[in-house]
Structure formats: structure tokens, C-alpha cells
């Protein structure tokens, strides 16, 4: 798609997301969106893609006879300051929101946000025990490919039929093919977003 059309598209998407922020956070975060559109910006590009990815997951679950998101835990791997969890808590009805973050200071900052229905855990995803966390695993700007594949393998061993969302992962298709994953949703415009599940236990 030509850059001029992409800028128009993301400018409209920016306005929509800005409206959502104003409704959910009473304009507290609107300054984040006040600058000129940047097609690489997380809020303008990746957050709307996450919304669409979660929508694809909802449709996928219902097609398989499930009840939607209310039975799933949303796990943000590398949750940082908790911005994504804060937004997700306002928009979706996941069973639980979990942030896995290795940096203690970022964990403490997340906890101070008092995000409803959330659990912030200071841990390395490579050593964390994911047993009992059945649901959706989100990676934004994930770690190097070799580490990412190790974490996904670990989750696959410990969780039955996990679903993954990868955003800004340049090797995402190769990773899914190597894992024999089932692609649920894929969009490669500007920032890659890929949703897949792993029904084969290893």
C-alpha cells in the first residue's frame, strides 16, 4: 500500500483510538496521541492491531464452540509499565490479566497503576512456570528469535492449546512454521502482527 494511503488510514485509526482513550481514561492519555501521526508509533499502529488480533481470537474461539474471552487469561510477556494491561482491562473481559516483567522497577510502576483484575509478576519468562495460565500470550517487540522460540516451547509444554499474539516480530512466519502452528490472523503492514495457536503438545 502506498505511504500516502497508509498515513491517511492510520490518521483515521489514530482518531478512533484517541476517542477510546478519552472515553476510558477521561483524556488523561490523550497527549500521547496529539503529535503528528507516526506510522511506527505503538498507539497509532500496534494497539489497534492488537484490538483486531483479539477480535480474531474471539471469532476463532466461538467457531470452535467456546464462550469467548471470559475463560482465558491474557498474559503480557514483557509487560513493562503495564500500559497494555491497563487498556485491555477497560476494553475486554478476560478471566485474568497477567504481566510478566523481569525489571523490578517496571513491575513496581505497574502495580501502582492498580489495574483491575491484574497480577504483575517479576520474573524471567524463560524460568517462569506457566502452569494454570490457560489463555492468550502477548509479545510486543519480542526478545531475540532464539529466546522467543524457547519461551514459546516452554509455554507449549505447560499450557494446553495456548494462543499467541506476536507484534513487531520480523521472523514471525518462520517461527510459526518451525513450531507447526496454526495461523489464526496475520497482518504484515508496517508492523507485523501474527496470531496462532499450538494444539500439538511437545
Q: Report all structural domains of the chain as residue ranges with CATH numbers, in order of start.
A: 42-197 (3.40.50.150)
Q: What are the average pLDDT values for consecutive 10-residue runs of the chain, which has 202 residues?
A: 53 62 51 42 67 91 86 94 89 94 95 94 95 92 86 91 86 82 81 78 42
How confident is the model at residue 120, as a pLDDT?
Answer: 97
Cβ–Cβ < 8 Å for 57, 136: yes
Look at residues 73, 66, 119, 114 and name the one whose alpha carbon lies nearest to residue 93. Answer: 73
- Grid cell 476463532 is found at 60
Contacts of 145-150 spanning 24+ positions with Cβ under 8 A: 145/171, 145/175, 148/175, 149/175, 149/178, 149/179, 150/126
Measure the N-to-C terminal CA separation of the chain; round to a whole number of Å: 39
Give the ranges where 64-182 is alpha helix by DSSP (H): 83-91, 104-112, 145-158, 172-179
Alpha carbon 63 to chain centroid, angstroms: 21
pLDDT of residue 13: 59
- The pLDDT, as a whole number, for residue 19 is 63
Contact 133, 77 (CB under 8 A): no
Distance CA 52, CA 71 (A): 19
Amino acid at each position: 500500500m502506498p505511504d500516502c494511503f497508509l498515513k491517511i488510514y492510520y490518521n483515521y485509526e489514530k482518531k478512533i483510538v484517541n476517542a477510546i482513550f478519552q472515553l476510558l481514561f477521561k483524556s488523561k492519555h490523550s497527549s500521547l496521541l496529539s503529535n503528528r501521526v507516526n506510522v511506527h508509533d505503538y498507539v497509532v499502529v500496534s494497539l489497534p492491531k492488537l484490538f483486531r488480533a483479539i477480535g480474531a481470537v474471539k471469532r476463532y474461539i466461538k467457531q470452535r464452540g467456546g464462550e469467548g474471552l471470559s475463560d482465558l487469561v491474557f498474559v503480557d510477556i514483557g509487560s513493562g509499565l503495564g500500559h497494555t494491561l491497563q487498556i485491555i482491562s477497560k476494553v475486554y473481559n478476560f478471566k485474568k490479566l497477567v504481566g510478566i516483567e523481569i525489571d523490578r522497577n517496571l513491575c513496581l510502576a505497574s502495580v501502582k497503576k492498580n489495574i483491575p483484575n491484574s497480577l504483575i509478576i517479576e520474573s524471567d519468562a524463560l524460568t517462569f512456570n506457566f502452569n494454570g495460565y490457560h489463555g492468550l500470550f502477548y509479545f510486543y517487540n519480542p526478545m531475540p528469535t532464539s529466546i522467543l522460540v524457547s519461551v514459546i516451547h516452554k509455554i507449549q509444554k505447560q499450557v494446553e492449546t495456548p494462543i499467541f499474539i506476536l507484534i513487531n516480530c520480523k521472523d514471525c512466519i518462520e517461527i510459526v512454521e518451525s513450531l507447526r502452528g496454526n495461523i489464526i490472523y496475520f497482518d504484515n503492514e508496517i508492523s507485523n502482527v501474527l496470531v496462532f495457536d499450538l494444539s500439538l503438545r511437545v
